[in-house]
Amino acid sequence: MAATPPWAGSLLAEWWERLAARLIEALVFGVFYYILFIALWGIFRTVGVLEVFGGRLPGVCAWFVAGLAYAGYDWRAHSRRGRTFGKAIMRIRLAPAKLTPRAALKRALVYPGPLMLMGIPVVNLLAGMLLFGVGLLILIDKPLERGPHDRLAGTRVVKDLR
């Protein structure tokens, strides 16, 4: 007999709730990215390496650091509380609520991990297509609406009715 999944009996989160949670987080990390970009641009200009990679060095470094910070935050928040601040605002969470650090790391490396590569020309196109594909797979996976990152970690996003 199959084991009962941890989200059995929970109301599944709607796709738009998940999207809104990610957009809230993206807004915060986007501000972090721009502040970091401006700081790196000033530093690289001062030391004379601004023109390395055709002037793209501040953007590459800022995307990498901001993407790494976002993936690290996503990993830590999901492994400790089962939700990020965007999910908390939207009143949704992961089921099971407490993930093992390894499962949360797998989830974070698939999404939002590829954001670290968004500053690299050509690779950014592939990373963007991967992130778009993850979102699309959530929409077409009926009835559970699980993306590859959810399947890899064994999670499901549910409404937090507490």
State both tokens at 137.
Answer: 């797979």
**pLDDT at position 54:** 84
Beta strands in 20-149 (DSSP E): 92-95
pLDDT-based confidence at residue 161 (cuts at 50, 70, 90):
confident
Determine the average pLDDT of the residues in 66-93.
Answer: 95
- Which one-letter DSSP state was computed for residue 143? T
Quick one: what percent of the chain has pLDDT higher than 90? 74
pTM as predicted: 0.87
**pLDDT at position 97:** 81
Asked, for residue 115, whether it belongs to a domain, the answer is yes
Q: Which domain range does residue 122 map to?
A: 15-159
Asked, for residue 1, whether it belongs to a domain, the answer is no
Total domains in the fold of the chain: 1
Whole-angstrom distance, CA of residue 82 vs CA of residue 92: 9
Asked, for residue 140, whether it belongs to a domain, the answer is yes
Asked, for residue 7, whether it belongs to a domain, the answer is no
Asked, for residue 122, whether it belongs to a domain, the answer is yes
**pLDDT at position 53:** 80
Ramachandran area for residue 82 (φ above 0: left; ψ -120 to 50: alpha; else beta): left
At 1-60, the pLDDT tens digits run 556 665 566 899 999 999 999 999 999 999 999 999 999 999 999 998 988 888 889 999
Asked, for residue 3, whether it belongs to a domain, the answer is no
Q: What is the largest CA-CA distance in the chain?
A: 66
pLDDT-based confidence at residue 64 (cuts at 50, 70, 90):
very high
Coil vs helix vs strand at 97: coil
Higher pLDDT, 98 or 90: 90
Q: What is the mean pLDDT of the chain?
A: 90
**pLDDT at position 86:** 97
Whole-angstrom distance, CA of residue 77 vs CA of residue 162: 18
Whole-angstrom distance, CA of residue 19 vs CA of residue 12: 14
Nearest to 75 by CA among 43, 91, 99: 99
Determine the average pLDDT of the residues in 65-72.
Answer: 94
Asked, for residue 5, whether it belongs to a domain, the answer is no
